[in-house]
Structure 1
């Protein structure tokens, strides 16, 4: 991830903390979502297939836990429970069914099968590494946009 310094960030943070708590929370949630969209779009582009449930499963969420506002990019869930296996790969392993008749390939029953494993095909972490500076810029732009909508004029921070 490229290092970037933002001038005016400390002042913006102090200003945000002086706002009413509900307004600050709403502004930060929308800002973190704007940054997460940048990462989500890159992660979807990095998925090793052109279309499908894995790509559709990449999504964002935001919320507040114990006073801390969070934004999250996730993949997987019920839609694509194999997302972590694609991201991190698997070791070679033996597959043995609980029911002796349960494992059949093309109608031929097997007691066990040796799975060769799968190489990792990361798509989430490279998205963060590649787009973190753009996500920070999107967050700052959304904060300025929301504060301007509230009638508060905030100069754009300089990225150096």
Structure 2
């Protein structure tokens, strides 16, 4: 089931991003994606089952946001997107815990306790709204920082 989403103004923001240096543009996108992913991660932590015996070294505490995947996930991801080196990605989910998928989907002896999909479903529109609102602001801030840096370099 495909969902179609439309956001006005992204073409203009893309053009503004292209005017920034490549590294600066990627950093802007990473900051915005991290802000957008935070509500999803918070909801995942709230929905993840908690084992009091583990005292904080468990599924719930492993949920985070980052730009890197585990070894196996990274290998699978590279196979799917090997030609897209210019992309900026942010991942939300459980850390390298071997049983996280069993909690989400269940097994023959353990019923499913979904936490990731419900968190995504509940927050995906909010995340998109954060990207739409924050991207322009972050691009403006980055352009202003760049202009101040260039002005300082021109003086001294």
TM-score by length of 2: 0.68
Contact 2:40–2:119 at 8 Å: present in 1 too? yes
Structure 1 partner of 2:107: 90
- Alpha-carbon distance in 1 for matches of 2:65, 2:128: 16
Greater fraction of residues in helix:
2
CA RMSD across the alignment: 2.4
Q: Partners of 1:120 and 1:131 in 2: how far apart?
A: 21
Is the CA contact 1:85–1:120 (under 8 Å) kept in the aligned structure 2?
A: yes
Gaps of 5+ in 1: 92-116, 153-160
By percentage of residues, which structure has more strand? 1
- Check whether the contact 1:31–1:140 (CA below 8 A) recurs between aligned residues: no
Hey, what does 1:113 align to over in structure 2?
none
Cα offset for 1:24? 0.8
Matched-pair contact (CA < 8 Å) for 1:90–1:118: yes
Equivalent position of 2:45 in the other structure: 44
Pair 1:50–1:2, CA change in 2 (3 A): farther
CA offset digits 1:21-52 (Å, max 9, x no partner) = 11111101111111111210111111133864
Gaps in structure 2 of 5+ consecutive residues: 69-83, 145-156
1:76–1:82 Cα contact (<8 Å) kept: no
Which contiguous aligned blocks of 4+ residues in structure 1 show a shift greater than 4 angstroms? 1-4
- CA shift for structure 1 position 151: 4.8
Determine which structure has more spread, i.e. the larger CA radius of gyration. Answer: 1
TM-score (norm 1): 0.67
Q: CA deviation at 1:56?
A: 0.4
TM-fit CA distance, 1:4: 4.4
